[in-house]
A and B are shown apart, each in its own frame.
Chain A
Amino acid sequence: MPFVRNLPYLCIFLCMLSAILLSLGPKAKFAYWTAVCVSAVCAAASLLFLVHIAKSDTAFAFTMGKFPAPFGNEIKGGPLQGLFATVFSLVMCLCLLGGKTELFEDVDEKKMGLACVMLCMVLASLLVLSYTNDIFTGYVFVEIGTVAACALVMLKDSGPTLAATVRYLFLSLLGSGMFLFGVVLLYALTGHLLMPQLTAAVAALAGDSAQRPLLALSLGLMTAGLGVKSAMFPFHRWLPDAHSSATTTSSAVLSGLVVKGYAVLLVLLYVRVFTLDTVRSLRVNDAVFILGFAGMILGSVRAIYETHIKRMLAWSTVAQLGYVFMGFGLGTAEGVAAACFQILIHAFAKPLLFVSAGRLSAVSGHEKQLSALRGSAWRAPLAGLGFGVGALSMVGIPLFGGFAAKTGLGLGALDGGMKVAAALGGLALSSVLNALYYLPALINLWSERPAEAARPARDRCCTLSVLLLAAGVLALGLCFKPVMDLIVRGLELL
């Protein structure tokens, strides 16, 4: 086995090891830069792995401690997992850089080490959820991700963030409960936890009409459980409070990455364990389609009414996750591939928006209301441009990544039978709704050039982060075809 195939495991190990070491209480600066370096190293290693695995065009199972299949724990590496891991680690690094100033203002200096522990654990959980080949390991890391994400919400230690955290925590616990119940039910039905064995057992059970309701119940519980955690309608109520009250880095990580980890696990369940044919025949995807559709419209409608810039972005996350679930709900390989693309593009675009919004608000006296941010883009032009790139991508202007995601979803919906009209109409309506709040916000930011005032202090880390995130959005929009081919191939090899 070439050394590069150890990299996924080593990345996970590095994240967890650094989390343990950071909990020893190092200096704030050291802890912060360690977290940045860890995520940068993971991004580089995952990229190396992605290049290798895409070239060799295979997927392989990596057994922990060389214990053979039914006893040991496994992770599985393939092109899709490599792609997710690369993007997740890279965006994590950029979120840390982009929110640096605010992070040091909001977090107590003594607690910075612990904050970085949580950031490393979030990254570890995201990597494991992408790579895992064992459903119970998936559950454990879902929980680790939840606790770490809750800790990220309450980094800014104030009453409202605590209240938001507690609401997020309890809804998340409901989700974990349902997911665990689903896993246990599946284990009771099949007697397996490793995904390859589960696949075979599920295929055998799917033909047995007595077992099908139980199989559907198990899949439904797992879908609902992960759905609560990734803010699927109608379980989205926790998201706007949690994502908008946190500090910039947390908002960006939560909105851009954490909710995606659970969606990635759902892809593994649908494609690898149950296979899309079984999912379609159990009709679970129809419910997911309807809920995704509802979330897509409702999230945008609520965002129109928001006057608080971060709450607007948080409601937009609900809408964008609606696209992801709609893609799953189509129940076709094209639909899931488009949903995966949407996961990637949103992982760049939403942190870009949050980081830009954080910078704009920092140069306007930490105001968060849109009316108070009028003309603020002139004070920090790059952040204004970054917000523009993110907003145009969300609306779906060609050349930006969001356009490619919507095209992919539309194309994927074309052979969906009854769902064609709903999906295409929903996409059109939701694009109009997106434009209805992103464009006024953008115009608001750039209008009324203020009289020449003292230029705010530079923030090099934030500049770098905005530039790279915007480059990611544009790159995904321009290189739509190769990335999409990689995703489709990855799904076949999943």
Chain B
Amino acid sequence: MLSLLVENRYAVTASVLFAVGFLHVLLHPDLIKKVLAFNIMDSSVFLLLASRGMIAARTAAILTDGGADPSRYVNPIPAGLVLTGIVVSVSVSAFSLALIQRLYGAYGTTDMRKILEEMKKRGE
């Protein structure tokens, strides 16, 4: 059992991080913390992807000394996917932070529960 965990340590870590991020995005009332949790969630997926793409004793697929032997390099696609994922996650984070700023301007708090209370008070 333990050896299985150690063998799959990246996948296990990724799953735990994903669960942590997931629950916080779902349940935490503070919007800024939700953004942080969302980033944790996405990073866990990138960790899984990067760890799956790594093969020990091979290097990144960058040709330097003219050796084009594919067995020396790892598959570059997972790294490409992680990069794409980071771009998506950065832009979504920026968008949500801008949105939260607007919401703070309207209600003076970043706590979703307080915002909902305030909305009720104002009769919106």
Contacts and interface: CB of A to CB of B under 8 A. Distances in A.
Given A147-B95, A180-B42, A188-B52, A173 B84 contact: no
Interface in B96-124: 96, 99-100, 102-103, 106-107, 112, 115-116, 119, 122, 124
A170 B38 contact: yes
Given A143-B88, A166-B103, A166-B112, A173 B119 contact: no
Nearest to B28: A170
Interface string A162-180: 1101110110011011101
B92 interface: yes
A150 B95 contact: yes
Nearest to B75: A191
Q: Is the interface of B mostly helix, strand, loop or mixed?
A: helix
A163 B42 contact: no
A62 interface: no
Interface in B54-78: 77-78
Nearest to B23: A174
Given A136-B81, A177-B42, A163 B92 contact: no
Contacts of A170: 25, 31, 34, 38, 96
B100 A173 contact: no
A147 B92 contact: yes
A381 to B, nearest CB: 32
B49 A173 contact: no
A193 interface: yes
A158 B77 CA distance: 43
A159 interface: yes
B102 A162 contact: yes
Contacts of A158: 106, 124
Given A162-B103, A163-B115, A170-B34, A177 B21 contact: yes
B12 interface: no
A160 B42 contact: no
B116 A163 contact: yes
Nearest to B87: A140
Contacts of A166: 31, 96, 99-100, 103, 112
A174 B22 contact: yes
A178 B52 CA distance: 18
B77 A177 contact: no
A185 B81 CA distance: 13
B4 interface: no
Contacts of B21: 177
Nearest to B91: A147
Contacts of A169: 95-96, 99
Given A177-B38, A193-B77, A188 B48 contact: yes
A174 B48 CA distance: 17
A160 B86 CA distance: 30
Contacts of B81: 136, 184, 187, 193
Nearest to A160: B124
B45 A181 contact: yes
A83 interface: no
A131 to B, nearest CB: 19
A187 B22 contact: no
Contact of A163 (B34, B91, B119): B119
B41 A177 contact: yes
A188 B50 CA distance: 10
Contact of B26 (A143, A174, A184): A174
Contacts of B96: 166, 169-170, 173
Given A163-B115, A166-B103, A188-B48, 4 more contacts: A158-B124, A170-B34, A177-B42, A184-B49
23 contacts: A136-B81, A143-B88, A157-B102, A159-B103, A159-B107, A159-B124, A162-B103, A163-B103, A163-B119, A166-B31, A166-B96, A173-B25, A173-B38, A174-B22, A177-B22, A177-B25, A177-B38, A177-B41, A181-B18, A184-B45, A184-B81, A187-B49, A188-B52
